[in-house]
Amino acid sequence: MPRRKLDVRRNQSVKLPNGRTVRITFINHPGAVIIAPFLNKDTVVMMRQFRPALKKYIYELPAGTLDPNERIATCARRELLEETGLLTKKLTKLGSIYPVPGYSTEIIHIFKAEELTLTQAQPEEYEVIETIPMTKQKVRKLLSQGKLMDAKSICTLAFCGWL
Here the CATH number for the domain that contains residue 111 is 3.90.79.10
The SS3 of residue 61 is coil
In a domain, 113, yes or no: yes
Number of Cβ within 10 Å of residue 155's Cβ equals: 20
What would the pLDDT profile of 50-64 be if each residue is shown by its tens digit? 999 999 999 999 999
What confidence category does residue 36 fall into, taking pLDDT thresholds of 50, 70 and 90?
very high
Phi-psi region of 149 (alpha: psi -120 to 50; beta: other; left: phi over 0): alpha
125 labelled catalytic: yes
In a domain, 18, yes or no: no
The 3 state secondary structure assigned to 3-25 is CCCCEEEEEEEEECCCCCEEEEE
**How confident is the model at residue 119, as a pLDDT?**
96
In a domain, 81, yes or no: yes
What would the pLDDT profile of 108-129 be if each residue is shown by its tens digit? 999 999 999 999 999 988 899 9
In a domain, 36, yes or no: yes
Number of folded domains that form the chain: 1
In a domain, 72, yes or no: yes
How far are the Cα atoms of 29, 85, 101, 158 from residue 97, in angstroms, in the given order?
13, 25, 9, 12
Range(s) of the domain holding residue 37: 31-159
- DSSP state, residue 99: S
In a domain, 6, yes or no: no
In a domain, 130, yes or no: yes
Task: Please determine, for residue 90, whether its predicted confidence score (pLDDT) is greater than 60.
Answer: yes
Q: Which of 60, 70, 125, 127 is the catalytic position? A: 125
